[in-house]
Structure formats: structure tokens, C-alpha cells
Chains A and B, each alone.
Chain A
Amino acid sequence: MSEYSDKELLDLFSKEESKHLAFNTIMRKYREKVYWHVRRMLVDHEDTDDVVQNCFIKAWDHLDGFRGDSAIFTWLYRIASNEALSFLKKKKRRFFLPIHDVESELSNLIDTDPLYSGDEIRKALDKAVIKLPERQRMVFNMKYYDEMKYEDMSAILGVTVGALKASYHHAVKKIEQELSED
């Protein structure tokens, strides 16, 4: 697959004849990263599929207005992060679930989901991650799994690098505490 720069992709997207080529290239390049980012937040595949599709549809709708101030990757992650957090918020509001019940629901899903294949220690980690506050969970996932730079995370989440480092530090401590209790 040819490696287009962000600028080239934006130029291609601005022309009717190459719009689909540009967008397909963007989707192929980022679909898995965006998917796993959302899946680790929502746990359920079907919910994740909905959110990821919405994320790319929004990207299609608004890519023309994207000024390229940030990388497409950062912009997409930002949409995906907001969509995932918004989905969780709506889920709680729609079903009047207290936070604890949402945690329980996600935790139960790990035990029963045929699309989950983690061993015992991995299961303990995934359940410990679910117990973190949502934004802290997102920070932990982006750093621990995606090994993302704090500067990129800062651009995506709109939080200072210092605050992200502190958030990651606290998340790691909480998770290690959880794992040591199991």
C-alpha cells in the first residue's frame, strides 16, 4: 500500500475523483488502531463496531473542514475517544445504571464473551482496568498498550502532559494493587 502523507491524503480527499481512494486509505491505515482503542474502553464488540463506524462516518462528513492543524491520526483518535466516552455516558443515562453496575456489566462480559480469549492473569488485568475512572482508563490504555507519546495523548485528550503522567502513574499503582490482591 502506498504511503501517502497527511497532506497528500487531504488533497486527494478534496477532489471528487479521488475522495474514496483517500478515505479508504485512511480507513485501512487507522481502522485497527481506532478499533482497539475503542474496544478496550467498551469491551463489547458490537458496541465498539457501532462507535467505530460512527467515528469514521463523522470523519467522512468533516474531513473537508479539517485544517490539518494536527495529524489525521490525532484527529481520528480524538473523535474516537469522544465517541467512546459519549457512548458510555449515554449508556449510563439510558439505562440508569450506576457506575458500579456498568463496571459489573463489562466485567461479566469478560467472563462470558466468546470474543474474549485472555488467560487468568490477563483477565485479572482487564477487569482491573475496567475499575479505573473512564478517562484514567483511556490514559492507561493509550500508554500501556499503544505506547503512545504523552505529547500525542495531550493533543488527543486536551490534557496537559503533566496531568497525563500523573494519571498514568495513579492508574498503574491502582492496577498493581488490584493484581496483588487477586
Chain B
Amino acid sequence: MNTNKDIKDLQDEDPQLSSTLNSIRNKAESYQVPTGYFEKMEDEILTRIQTKNKSVFNSVLNRLKRPQVSVPIGLALAAITLLLLTKKPVQENSVSIPQISQEELINSGIYIDMNEDLLLESYFSATPEQANLTEEAVFFNEAEQYLIDHKMDVNLIMNEL
């Protein structure tokens, strides 16, 4: 257990780095970027800024195109389709529309995070007192938490996608 003196020592000075850590520090960056990446970055960001409001749909579509998203979604949709096709009706004459809650969607793996811009828009429209934005209000997590805390209808936002 740390004593008060130990804690004070920790706070007073940085730990001495081992010779290994000291030597690695001066080596070149181990992560690389594609050639010309930084030079193109500004143009790409400015293009995205200019087109972002026009095409929220494309942003979602681009995410869906990524294999780590599209493969699980495809598998989950196939599983749900199979489940629905093999499910026997409870009553012969009743017509039921399958109700899938957001929790079930998450459990089935096809849940897609809401578009952050739409979520933020909802947050700001629900909180007119935030009209004069502070930098703290920029963060997605706070907006997300606010919507959850206030039980806002996320389906409405999802329908806009």
C-alpha cells in the first residue's frame, strides 16, 4: 500500500527511464502513413466539411462498406431472416409485425451507432440554453449521455438517416 510519502515521491519527479526506454525514445516512428497522406489531409477534410451537410446518407454508407461492419451486419441479417422464416405464428388468424427492440438489434450485432451529427443536432435543439456553445459541449459523449438521460426518442433520429 502506498504511504503518503510514496505518493508525494511519485508526484515530485518523473521516474528514471531504463536505458531501453531511453534508447527507444530516440528511434524513428514505428507507425507509418501512406505516401503524401498529410499533404492530402487538408483537402479531404475541407471537402468533407463542404459536403457533409448534403450527404449524411453517404457517411453511413461508407461505414457500412467497411468489412468489419458489413460482414457482421450481413451475417446478422441472414440470421434474423432465418429466424423470422422459421418462426411459427402464435395464433393462426393473427397478423403480427415482428417488433425488434434496440437492445435486440444490439444483441444481434446489426446495431449501427447513430450519426453523430444528427445526434448532436438533436442535443442542441433540445438544449437551447447551449446556443452559445462552450468547447465542453462539443463532445459526442456528453450529447449522447444527455439524450440517454432525458430518454429522447432516438428512433426519430434514426428515421432521418
CB distance from B43 to the nearest CB of A (A): 10
Q: At the interface with chain A, which of B77-85, B95-103, B109-117, B147-155?
A: B109-117
B106 neighbours in A (Cβ, 8 Å): 93
Q: Which positions 66-121 of chain A face chain B at CB distance < 8 Å?
A: 66-67, 69-70, 75, 78-79, 82-83, 86, 90, 93-96, 115-119, 121
Q: Is B11 an interface residue (CB 8 A)?
A: yes
Q: Does B25 contact A (CB under 8 A)?
A: yes
A65 to B131, CA, bound (A): 9
Q: Which of B10, B111, B135 contacts A62 (CB 8 A)?
A: B135
Interface range for B: 35 or more
Query: B18: which of A39, A57, A93, A176 is its contact (CB, 8 Å)?
Result: A176
- List the one stretch of A4-12, A23-31, A130-138 in contact with chain B: A23-31
Q: Which residues of A contact B61 (CB under 8 A)?
A: none
Known: A86-B141, A179-B20. A126 touches B30 (CB 8 A): yes
| Cβ–Cβ contact B48 & A165, under 8 A | no
Which residue, of B12, B33, B106, B132, has the highest number of chain A Cβ atoms within 10 A? B33
Q: Are B15 and A172 in contact (CB under 8 A)?
A: yes
Q: A82-B139, A169-B15 are in contact. Are A45 and B33 (CB under 8 A)?
A: yes
Give the nearest-CB partner of B113 in chain A.
Answer: A90
Q: Within 8 Å CB of A57, what residues of B?
A: 45, 48-49, 52
Of chain B, the residue at the smallest CB distance from A64 is B133
A138 to chain B, nearest CB (A): 15
Query: Bound complex: CA of A106 vs CA of B20, how far in Å?
Result: 23
Give chain A interface residues in 52-68, CB to chain B under 8 Å.
52-54, 56-58, 60-62, 64-67
CB of B93 within 8 Å of the partner chain: no
Q: Restricting to B118-133, which residues have a CB under 8 Å from any CB of A?
A: 132-133
With A62-B133, A168-B15 as contacts: A116 and B109 at CB distance below 8 Å: no
10 additional contacts (CB under 8 A) given A54-B116, A116-B31, A179-B21: A24-B42, A27-B42, A36-B31, A53-B44, A67-B134, A86-B139, A96-B109, A115-B34, A126-B30, A169-B10
A residues apposed to B, CB below 8 Å: 20, 23-24, 27-28, 31-32, 35-36, 39-40, 43, 45-46, 49, 52-54, 56-58, 60-62, 64-67, 69-70, 75, 78-79, 82-83, 86, 90, 93-96, 115-119, 121-123, 125-126, 143-145, 161-162, 165-166, 168-169, 172-173, 175-176, 179
